Amino acid sequence: MSIKVGDFAPDFTLKNVNQEPVTLSDFRGKQNVVLLFFPAVGSGVCEKELCSTRDSLKDYENMDAQVFGISVDSMFAQKLWVNSLQLNFPLLSDFNKEVAPKYGAFYDVWVPGKLDMKGVAKRSAFVIDKEGIIRYAEVLESAGDEPSYEAVKAALTSL
């Protein structure tokens, strides 16, 4: 499945690192949402991406956006990473691999690189407006690439 700009964002409920459920549709009518899917806790590019987001979180907040990082890692592994990197935005666990495929952000087979892992999220960025509509979608095939933070912020600015 592939998500396009203008599509209604598939709803989901995932648990955060405190084992609390977070439902996307709860933000409708209230706040824009940025979803950042990433392959794996503990990897170098993922750390760079999430620390960059941490360091510019004020920009997202000023654009009335709630940022979520999503991976298929367990909420327990994510919590260790949140604490060690002092992340200031929620990570959500798609451990059962139900949400990333709905967004077209999922490797059935890990092609790039030598890890040969199946079933991890593709690095992706989605901007969802307050009505639940996708306003920006970027799904990267190479896990070594980062999304365009400038394009994400431009999409938020235009809302």
Q: Among the options 46, 99, 100, 137, which is catalytic?
A: 46
Q: DSSP secondary structure string, 26-82? A: GGTTT-EEEEEE-S-TT-HHHHHHHHHHHHTHHHHHHTTEEEEEEESS-HHHHHHHH
Joined together, the tokens standing for residue 22 give 């977070």
Q: Cα–Cα distance between 99 and 103 in angstroms, integer? A: 7
Joined together, the tokens standing for residue 91 give 């990570």
* Amino acid at the residue 120: V
3-state SS, residue 24: helix
Torsion angles phi and psi, residue 16, rounded to 5: -85, -175
The count of residues in the chain is: 159
Tell me, yes or no, if 46 is annotated catalytic: yes
Q: Which residues are catalytic?
A: 46
